[in-house]
Structure 1
Amino acid sequence: MSITALSNGDPVDTAQRHSAIERVGITIAIDGPAGSGKSTVSKILASRLGIGYLDTGAMYRALTWYVLEEGLDPSDTDAVAQAAAHMDLRMDSHPENPHLWVGDVEVTDAIRQPRIALQIRHISTNLKVRSWMATEQRCRMMEARALGSGMIAEGRDITTVVCPDADVRVLLLADEEARLKRRTLELYGDVSPEHLEIVRAQVHDRDQADLTVAEFMKPAEGVDVVDSTGLGIEGVVAAVLALVDENLRGRLAQN
C-alpha cells in the first residue's frame, strides 16, 4: 500500500494511515477531565486507525469493583494496593465493544454503576495504586506498538506519567456544562435536571480528588490542546487525526 500522501503532506486516507502504522507503530495518549469526550473520541480513533483502545479509567473502576466485592475499605491505602497486585484483571482492546473480567466474572457493565462512581475517588488518588496502574498501562501500550500496530490510551496522567514519550499526546478540554451533559448522557441516557445534579456532584468530586495527584487541566510541555467545546465529536477526531498524520510523516521521513 502506498504511503506517498503521508510522505508528501497530501490528503491521507485510512488505508494509507494503516500502512504507515504497520511500518512504525503508534502510541497515542489523551488526557482530560471527566466528560471531556476523551473516551468516545479515543474509541473512534482506535477503530479508524486499526489500533487497540486502552480504557485506563475502566481499570480503576474494575479495581474499585473488586475492592467493594472483597469487602475492603476503599480508603485503606495499603489494603487497596495489595488488592491491585492480586486482582486477576483481563481486558480486551477492542475499540467498539471492549470487555473486562475480574477472574471469571465479566464486569463490563458492573463497573459503570453509580456505586462505583461514588467510591472511585479513593482508588484513583491512591499513589501506590497509581504507580501499579502506570506500569500495567505502559506495558500494554508498548507491547502493542512493538507488534506493528499501536494503542490509544486515555485518562488523567497518560501524557505525563504513563506514557510521556507517546508518539501523539493530547489534552482534551471542554467547558464545564458541556462535560456535565456528556457524562450524564453516558450514565443515564438523558439530561434531566435531577440526573444533571447527581452527576454534577460526582464530576466535581472526581476532578477535585484527581487534581491532588495529577494535573490534567493544563498541558505539559509538548502536549497539544484540543478544546472540544462546540466542536462536536467528528471535529475533535479530525483535529487528533491531523496530529497523527503529522507524527507519522515525521517518523517515516526518518526511516
Structure 2
Amino acid sequence: MGQGELRGVVALDGPSGTGKSTVARRLAATLRSGYLDTGAMYRAITLAVLRDGVDPADGAAVLRVAEQAELHIGTDPNHADVRLAGEDVAAEIRGRKVTLAVSAVSAVPRVRELLVARQRQLISEARARIGGIVVEGRDIGTVVVPDAGLKVYLTASADARASRRTKQDSREGRTSTVDATLADVERRDRLDSTRAASPLRPAVDAVEIDTTDLDIRAVLDRLLDIVRDRGLRGTAARSAGR
C-alpha cells in the first residue's frame, strides 16, 4: 500500500453511540490512511479474560491474561481484523458479555499501559508506511497521542446514543431494547469517566462535535473540512475524495 493522503494522526475520542467507529473508518478510507480501533483491543483482552474464567475485577489476574494474550489487530479501515491466537474474534468481542465486562478490564492501569504501548507502536508503523492514521477510542487525544495533529471529541445525547446502539445490535443479530441499552450506555459512561486510569474526557485542545442531530455523512464532511484546514491532507489528495 502506497502513501495515503493523511499526514499525521487524527485522534477521535468519545463515548459509545456517537458514531465514532463508523465515521473513523470512513474518514480513514476516504484519506487512504491507517485506522486503529483501540476499543477493539480492550474488548479482545476482555474476551480472553472471560474465556479463561478470570474475574474482570481481579486486576492482577486480568493483567496476567493480557500479558499472555496473542492479540493481533489490523489497521486497514476496509477490513476489521481482530484475532486472538490466530482466531477471528471481530464479531464475538461485540457481544453483550464482553460489553458488560470491558469497563472493568480497561480500568486496570497496567493493562492500559500494556495496550497503550502497543497502540503507539501500531500508530508509528502506520505513519512510517502510509503517512497517517485515524485512531479512535476514549483516551487517544489525552494519553495515547497527546501531540496528534487533530483531536476530535464526539458527543451526543444519551437517548440518541442508546437508539443508535439498539439499531446496530438489531442489524448485527443481537436482541436489545432501547431502555436496556440506555442503562448500559449510562453505566459505561459512569465507569469510563470516573476510572482512575485515563478517564474518558476531551483533550483541552480537542474540537468537540455534537452528533445528536447529525448523520454520518455530515460528521464526515465536517471532519474532512477540519483536516483540510489543519493542513493534514497531502498534496496528492484526490478531488473525488472531497
Q: Same fold (TM over 0.5)?
A: yes
Rg larger for: 1
How big is the shift at 1:188?
2.3
| Residue 220 (str. 1) matches residue 203 (str. 2) | yes
Higher fraction of helix: 1
| Residue 27 (str. 1) matches residue 4 (str. 2) | no
1:138-177 correspondence runs (5 A)? 138-177=120-159
Which of 209, 216, 219 pairs up with 1:233? 216
User: What TM-score, normalized to structure 1?
Assistant: 0.83
From the superposition, tell whether residues 209 and 107 of structure 1 become closer, same or farther in structure 2 (CA, over 3 Å).
same
Structure 2 runs not aligned, ≥5 long: 236-242
> Is the Cα contact below 8 Å between 2:12 and 2:135 reproduced in 1?
yes
From the superposition, tell whether residues 185 and 233 of structure 1 become closer, same or farther in structure 2 (CA, over 3 Å).
same
Provide the residue aligned with 1:107 in structure 2.
Answer: 89
My pick for the range that moved more, 162-171 or 128-137, is: 128-137
How big is the shift at 1:216?
3.4
Provide the residue aligned with 1:119 in structure 2.
Answer: 101
Counterpart of 1:216 in structure 2: which amino acid?
A: L
Structure 1 runs not aligned, ≥5 long: 1-16
Aligned length: 229
Distance across 1 between alignment mates of 2:233 and 2:69: 40
How big is the shift at 1:178?
1.1
Distance across 1 between alignment mates of 2:233 and 2:160: 34
> Is the Cα contact below 8 Å between 2:37 and 2:135 reproduced in 1?
yes
Distance across 2 between alignment mates of 1:63 and 1:215: 19
How big is the shift at 1:113?
1.1
Distance across 2 between alignment mates of 1:99 and 1:226: 28
Q: RMSD of the TM alignment (CA)?
A: 2.1
| Residue 61 (str. 1) matches residue 10 (str. 2) | no
How big is the shift at 1:69?
0.8
